[in-house]
């Protein structure tokens, strides 16, 4: 499937394993499938929490917060594929990525189906081999389902819910050495693009 547009978001507040993993996935999408890619990191950005003020519902003009998330909205709305990556923080996604997901309400307030049928996968990075990666992926996949997107895992034997990496608390160097973790990303991307190809053919 050539020419799909893919956005990858690193939900880590530092430059480390999650940043490396999301960039690795985007490179694989581009080099293997000819996708166009965009990268966004929450690192060093001001991203306010959703305060449920309902400005987006009343005005239909986006979010009340004029912060560093504003440039991401048009990318999310136009991209056909999303790759969301998060470190595991106390068994869950990072607060920064959760803020990004909550703030997509500003787009949905204008058009309830704005993300309908977009394809989405997740990448979870833990300092431990079994440090909560599956819980992180469940949260990401739940978000896709709620927003009428199509969620992807990589299939049985190694990538059930998506990309799961073990950094061994060695930042990008740890992720780079996790061959099984990178394989789980590759398997998930491959399944996503195979399915996209089938949808287009159908």
Whether the Cβ atoms of residue 11 and residue 84 lie closer than 8 Å to each other: yes
Structure tokens at 8: 């990858």
For the stretch 59-101, pLDDT in tens is 999 999 999 999 999 999 999 999 999 999 999 999 999 999 9
For the stretch 168-194, pLDDT in tens is 999 999 999 999 999 999 999 999 999
pLDDT at position 201 is 61
> Residue 1 above 60 pLDDT?
no
How many domains, the chain? 1
Place of tokens 């999310």: 76
Burial of residue 176 (CB within 10 Å: 0-12, 13-18, 19+) is middle
Tell me the three state secondary structure of residue 23. Answer: helix
| Mean pLDDT of all residues in 37-59 | 97
Residues 6+ apart with CB under 8 A from 18: 10, 11, 12, 85, 86, 87, 123, 125, 175
CATH of the domain at 161: 3.40.50.360
> Residue 37 above 60 pLDDT?
yes
Q: Which of 109, 29, 23 is nearest to 73 (CA)?
A: 109
| Among the ranges given (4-8, 47-51, 70-74, 130-134), the one the predictor scored with the smallest mean pLDDT | 130-134
pLDDT at position 129 is 86
d(CA 168, CA 179): 13
pLDDT at position 48 is 98
Q: What is the DSSP letter of 167?
A: -
Question: What is the span of the domain harbouring residue 191?
Answer: 5-201
For the stretch 106-153, pLDDT in tens is 999 999 999 999 999 999 999 988 889 999 999 999 999 999 999 999
d(CA 196, CA 122): 16
- Which pLDDT band holds residue 197 (cuts at 50, 70, 90)? confident
CA angle 120, 109, 114 (to 5 degrees): 35
pLDDT at position 149 is 98
Place of tokens 């300092």: 127
pLDDT at position 73 is 98
| Mean pLDDT of all residues in 20-26 | 98
């Amino acid at each position: 499937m050539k020419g799909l547009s893919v956005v990858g978001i690193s939900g880590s507040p530092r430059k480390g394993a999650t940043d490396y993993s999301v960039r690795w996935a985007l490179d694989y999408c581009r080099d293997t499938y000819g996708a166009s890619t965009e990268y966004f990191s929450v690192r060093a950005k001001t991203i306010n929490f959703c305060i449920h003020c309902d400005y987006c519902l009343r005005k239909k003009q986006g979010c009340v917060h004029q912060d560093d998330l504003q440039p991401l909205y048009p990318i999310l709305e136009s991209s056909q594929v999303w790759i969301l990556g998060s470190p595991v923080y106390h068994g869950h996604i990072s607060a920064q990525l959760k803020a990004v997901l909550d703030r997509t309400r500003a787009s949905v307030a204008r058009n309830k189906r704005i993300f309908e049928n977009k394809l989405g996968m997740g990448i979870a990075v833990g300092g431990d081999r079994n440090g909560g990666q599956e819980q992180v992926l469940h949260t990401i996949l739940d978000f896709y389902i709620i927003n009428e997107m199509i969620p992807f895992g990589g299939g049985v034997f190694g990538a059930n819910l998506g990309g799961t990496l073990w950094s061994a608390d060695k930042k990008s160097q740890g992720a780079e050495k996790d061959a099984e973790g990178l394989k789980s990303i590759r398997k998930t991307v491959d399944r996503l693009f195979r399915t996209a190809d089938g949808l287009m053919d159908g």
